[in-house]
Structure 1
Amino acid sequence: MLKQFLQFKLSQKLSPQQIQLMKLIQLPTQAFEQRLKQELEENPALESGKEQTDEYDDDFDNTDDYEDDNETINTDDINVDDYLSDDDVPDYRTQANNYSSDDEEKTMPYAAGISFTQHLINQLNTFRLTDDEFDIAEFLVGSIDESGYIRRELSDIMDDLAFTQNVYTTEEDIEKVLRIVHQLDPAGVGARNLQECLSIQLHRKEKRPDVELAIDIIDNAFEKFTKKHYKKLLQKFDITEQQLKDAIDEIEHLNPKPGGSYSGNNRMVEHVVPDFAIKIVDGELELTLNGRNAPELHVSREYNNMLKGYKESKDKSKSQKDAVMFIKQKLDAAKWFIDAIKQRQQTLFVTMSAIMHYQKEYFLTGDERKLRPMILKDIADEIDMDVSTVSRVTNSKYVDTPYGTKLIKEFFSESMTNDQGEEVSTREIKKILETVIEDENKRKPLTDEALAKILKEKGYPIARRTVAKYREQLDIPVARLRKKI
């Protein structure tokens, strides 16, 4: 049975222009440049560079009244087709601007190279292998991950060889070929675990007493070594502390991820382009927006003149009306995009300026202990914008400071109250915790409980589990694993 009833509903709808602006604000400099390039290619009514005159502005603002359905059709006065060229190279791509050589944009070339897997296969060609052995070796090399390890059981590899390569073999034969793979460079590649990886590297070294001892430790006492049971190692191998220290030094200089050392593995290199720059001038902070975020754009005079010519003509054809609708659409899109770019610049600058003044003490000194507790809402309230807008501005963007290039989100942190009732940043506590751990006696590293006690004495009453959480966020291991002899 059908029923009819009234329902009130409150919903928020965003215009295409608002959506476009939000997407632009979120983009960091490099991604923004790509978006700008895409828009210039897609919209011929939008041009980059310096415009010679601004006469078109008044004409553009009065183009809303170009339609009149009652007018007679006559195509003799204006041929819109002359303006709408299908030329593959639009005018804005061939314009030259008199910029100085300093303004020339330079791009970073990427060197072409072979993949990590291909690098290993090329080395296999230097070994004398049967067809089956080469197939097995090639399959093993293809199973090596980015770190340089084979993390699959030999039984699984044997099954896959049978099903996918039609190669029937045994685990013993695969093990034999694997030992050949272990001879490839970089040293340690093809290992099945960390112990085997370190052992392969040590066996390739020149045989010295400290290397021989290091091999003995890795091959026969790996668990004691990983747990840093140094007293048990001294007893087991009947050696002095200095001998153990030399052996451990050899092990610490090995590469636990041999795959990561291959420079030609064709990984895309990320280049951080700061979106802002902060300088100290005469004791005051000075903020600048990266010039690449402020391109010079203008609406095409040629397209604007098309509308002006159509408006002034007395007789209009149906095809001319269709064409002028296209022109009007492109001009509107160009004007919206230019407005969005200006609003993006304004939003970025205002937001970063508020962050800079909020963290003024830090930017003047570079001391992370001077960072104030700051959340997105603090800045949003300061500039009278939405929290989501601040989040978009700070997302994936960097600022060049006198102390290095920093991710803007790093300046945000939660707060806690110290023993004097003052609000302090958790970043400040983490920095102090890091300093305390750096200065500890590595023979007897401080436990989380001891660290909590020291922080309490310094005026930061936090629980042991909170210390553990901060330590993990700083990527610092537990006390036992920080022990040294």
Structure 2
Amino acid sequence: MLRQNLQQKLLQKLSPQQIQFIKLLQVPTVSLDARIKEELEENPALEDLSLTNMADPVEEYPDRDPDDDNFNKEESGSEEFDEFNIDEYLQEDNLNDYGSKYDQNGDDDEERKEMPIAIQSSFFDNLQNQLDLLPLSDKDFRICQQIIGSLDDDGYLRRPIMSITDDLAFSQNVMAEDEEVEDMLKVVQSFDPAGVGARDLQECLLIQLRRKDINIPVIRKAIQVVEHYLDEFTRKHYEKLEKSLNLHDDELKEIVAEILKLNPKPGDSSEVNTKQMQVIPDFHIRNSDGVLILTLNAKNAPELRVSRSYQDMFQHYDKAAQRDKKLKEAVQFVKQKLDSAKWFIDAIKQRQQTLLKTMNAIMHYQYDFFLTGDEKNLRPMILKDIADKIGMDISTVSRVANSKYVQTEHGTYLLKSFFSEAIQTESGEEVSNKEVKKILEENIAKEDKLHPLADEKLTDILKDAGYNIARRTVAKYREQLNIPVARLRKEL
């Protein structure tokens, strides 16, 4: 049975302006410029004073405020707009597709210079180029192509030979035996970079070693180690290797050094990463005789304003005595663009204020660290600490800290790195876990590599220093620092 009833509900919804501010807040400085350019292209009512050739209106009218309504009203009656034809305006610009016309006519071709992009062969293109140079039959060529297409990004072939044979039969109608695919795999394994097409780490290392001069005793011994004692080698059971192969310490050192020169991921070696991450600090902290001075990167404060011509145009249309359908559409369009420009400028200003407010609270909370640059001076700090200080939501602080950088005299840091958990010492004092990690890292760095410190020993060292933490916590911090276990840190 269907029924109709009325209900009242309280729902929390974000306005379009709030959504725009949230999106701008989480954008880092390196991406903000592109976001502003995108908005400038979409909205002709928004202007960037650093790009325009127009004279500063304050210089033109030094006695009058350009934001004054009376000022706009006086200028709106000029002859320039009296001669303006609304029909010409509507014919020149398609209201439904203003952005595309603006993109086409807004800039000259000479001014729209783009950064050239270096064209570079990929890993698979490199293999295909080597395949093209071989005098193979059509069948063998297609088998090699299928093998190359089955390789992973690191250069390994992890698909069974039987599966490749089935793929050739069903997708390319090529009937091949497993032995033929095996033979063509050896052809692919002869390609550069050495080790490509291997089915596991052992085969990858053996391919690279066998390409060297096997008459050299060290190479022969290295092949023997990889072929028969790879597990002992990876676990660094060097004593067992010395006994099994009857080696001296110096001989084993040479063999280990030769194996460590090999590339375990040949596919990654051919890729040259031309896209390096560019870090542009959002803040600068300067130490002036013991007083920290915080400044916001100038790129975060673009010189934006609402177009004067669009403001005057809107006032001119709004005062028109007669309004037909076209004129109403023009007024609505101009008003929409003006509102959008004002909202964007307000969101940029609010972003600047929020960034400064949040960073200022972080700077004062971690004042000793910014003065010295010593990680041991970092205080335990969580998002809620800063959110309470500035009177904002934790999510706002998280958006600021997640992708923003600050440049100091001691280096450039991600804001997120200043947040850490608290650990209580024996004296009852709370310290940052980053301080514990720093001490842990220092002790591992100066350990005897012949007898590296186990986690139990590291726990005892930290306890002697007053940090009462469990062994599993030490293991967790060691893993977070990407430091292997003691056995794998052992050196000859």
Structure 2 residue aligned with 1:113: 120
Checking the alignment, whether the CA contact within 8 Å between 2:122 and 2:271 is kept in structure 1 is: no
Checking the alignment, whether the CA contact within 8 Å between 1:44 and 1:90 is kept in structure 2 is: no
Checking the alignment, whether the CA contact within 8 Å between 2:66 and 2:72 is kept in structure 1 is: no
**2:217 counterpart of 1:213:** no
Checking the alignment, whether the CA contact within 8 Å between 1:373 and 1:412 is kept in structure 2 is: yes
Structure 2 residue aligned with 1:406: 413
SS at match of 1:280: strand
Q: 1:308 aligns with which of 312, 315, 332?
A: 315
**2:461 counterpart of 1:451:** no
Q: 1:361-392, CA deviations, whole angstroms, 9 ceiling, x for partnerless residues?
A: 22222222221111111111121111111111
Range that drifts further, 249-258 or 459-468 = 249-258
Q: How does 1:162-177 map to 2 (within 5 A)?
A: 162-177=169-184
Q: 1:417 aligns with which of 420, 424, 429?
A: 424
Question: Cα gap change, 1:173/1:2 in structure 2, threshold over 3 Å: closer, same or farther?
Answer: closer
Question: Cα gap change, 1:427/1:182 in structure 2, threshold over 3 Å: closer, same or farther?
Answer: same
Structure 1 residue aligned with 2:76: none
For structure 2, the 5+ residue unaligned runs are 59-64, 74-81
Structure 2 residue aligned with 1:53: 57
Structure 2 residue aligned with 1:338: 345
- Post-superposition shift, 1:2? 5.1
Q: TM-score, normalised by structure 2?
A: 0.87
- Post-superposition shift, 1:197? 1.5
What code does the residue aligned with 1:370 have?
N
Question: Cα gap change, 1:175/1:77 in structure 2, threshold over 3 Å: closer, same or farther?
Answer: closer
CA distance in 1, matches of 2:329, 2:442: 71
- Post-superposition shift, 1:342? 0.8
Question: Cα gap change, 1:83/1:295 in structure 2, threshold over 3 Å: closer, same or farther?
Answer: farther
What code does the residue aligned with 1:53 have?
P
Q: 1:314-356, CA deviations, whole angstroms, 9 ceiling, x for partnerless residues?
A: 3333421221111111101111111111111111122122222
Q: How does 1:356-371 map to 2 (within 5 A)?
A: 356-371=363-378
CA distance in 1, matches of 2:168, 2:331: 65
CA distance in 2, matches of 1:346, 1:245: 59
What code does the residue aligned with 1:450 have?
K
Q: 2:294 aligns with which of 287, 290, 304?
A: 287
Aligned residues, how many? 464
Q: 2:260 aligns with which of 246, 252, 262?
A: 252
Q: TM-score, normalised by structure 1?
A: 0.88
Checking the alignment, whether the CA contact within 8 Å between 1:148 and 1:260 is kept in structure 2 is: yes
CA distance in 2, matches of 1:247, 1:90: 63
Checking the alignment, whether the CA contact within 8 Å between 2:382 and 2:419 is kept in structure 1 is: yes
What code does the residue aligned with 2:130 have?
Q
CA distance in 2, matches of 1:325, 1:281: 53
Question: Cα gap change, 1:404/1:173 in structure 2, threshold over 3 Å: closer, same or farther?
Answer: farther
What code does the residue aligned with 1:213 have?
K
**2:86 counterpart of 1:80:** yes
- Post-superposition shift, 1:43? 1.0
For structure 1, the 5+ residue unaligned runs are 64-75, 96-104
Question: Cα gap change, 1:199/1:288 in structure 2, threshold over 3 Å: closer, same or farther?
Answer: farther
How many percent of aligned residue pairs carry the same amino acid? Answer: 56
Question: Cα gap change, 1:280/1:152 in structure 2, threshold over 3 Å: closer, same or farther?
Answer: farther
CA distance in 1, matches of 2:4, 2:325: 44
Task: Report the aligned-residue RMSD.
Answer: 2.8
CA distance in 1, matches of 2:256, 2:435: 34
SS at match of 2:158: coil
Checking the alignment, whether the CA contact within 8 Å between 1:59 and 1:308 is kept in structure 2 is: no
